[in-house]
Amino acid sequence: MAASSPVRSDAELLRVNRGFYEALWAQARLIDPDRFNTWPLLRELAAAAPRRLEVAPGLRPRLPLEDTCFVDLSHAALRQLHARGASAMHGMIGALPCADARFDLVCAFDILEHVADDEGALRELARVAAPGATLLLSVPLHADAWTAFDEFVGHCRRYEPEAIKAKLAAHGFALEGSAIYGMQPKSSRLLDLGQWFLTHRRERAMWWYNHVFMPLGLRFQKPLQWRDGLPEVDGVDEVLLVCRRLGG
């Protein structure tokens, strides 16, 4: 039986996420956006949206480095983004250092599940998105799929499909399309093994992740298959959602 997601405070989540991702990015290199299967869509969207924001990219940005504003909590990630000439600011999704209605394209991959106040995070995304802006958001699905690995990497929750659709609508976002997303292995034994090494042999595990498993994941990732709305997702671990900011 799957474990349920724990109730975790903002302070605890911040500590876990800083501890895990600062160590991860300190030993990693920035991967160019065109290496990911999100690139065909984002290249097209970015060409039509000169005002764009990506929240918490770490060293895996999906939007073009040039002319995109990046906001991240990790100083290790910010240093490498700056070194590549990107415009990057220190900040968190719950208090974005950006003006209202500033962006026509906003991306937040693998972040909403990490914050205790996801309503506040969505309010911030809605605040900085101009009317008609596109939002790309990825989230893990199904509370009954929760594992100890979710907790280990700083997740606060998984989302039921109807619940995330309702949350987006409540903050002025209309869901337009979706695709199955993510690189997490399906084998629970692999996840358990990875968690053990990250707990007891962290430096070595980070090296293997950055130098072996991430390159393999990039090589074997499949093209995204886009669908209207959010159709049947039983057994799907994570989805990428394309939304439109209403208003204007």
Condensed to tens digits (0 to 9), the pLDDT of residues 1-37 reads 345 555 656 666 566 656 667 777 777 889 999 999 9
pLDDT of residue 66: 96
Q: What separation in angstroms does the CA of 20 have from each of 17, 23, 55, 149, 189?
A: 5, 6, 17, 12, 21
pLDDT of residue 71: 97
pLDDT of residue 12: 63
pLDDT at 137 over 70: yes
Query: Under CATH, domain 10-245 is a member of which superfamily?
Result: Vaccinia Virus protein VP39 (3.40.50.150)
From the list 22, 17, 37, the residue with the least C-alpha distance to 182 is 37
- Stretch (H or E) spanning 188: helix 188-200
pLDDT of residue 150: 80
pLDDT at 200 over 70: no
Intra-chain end-to-end CA distance of the chain, in Å: 47
pLDDT at 162 over 60: yes
Only one residue has tokens 């090494």, namely 197
- Per-residue confidence band for 227, with pLDDT thresholds at 50, 70 and 90: very high
pLDDT of residue 27: 77
Give domain limits for the chain: 10-245
Q: Give me the mean pLDDT over the 57-81 stretch.
A: 95
pLDDT of residue 247: 84
The token pair that represents 37 in the structure block: 């299967």
Q: What separation in angstroms does the CA of 223 have from each of 31, 41, 127, 130?
A: 18, 11, 31, 29
pLDDT of residue 210: 64
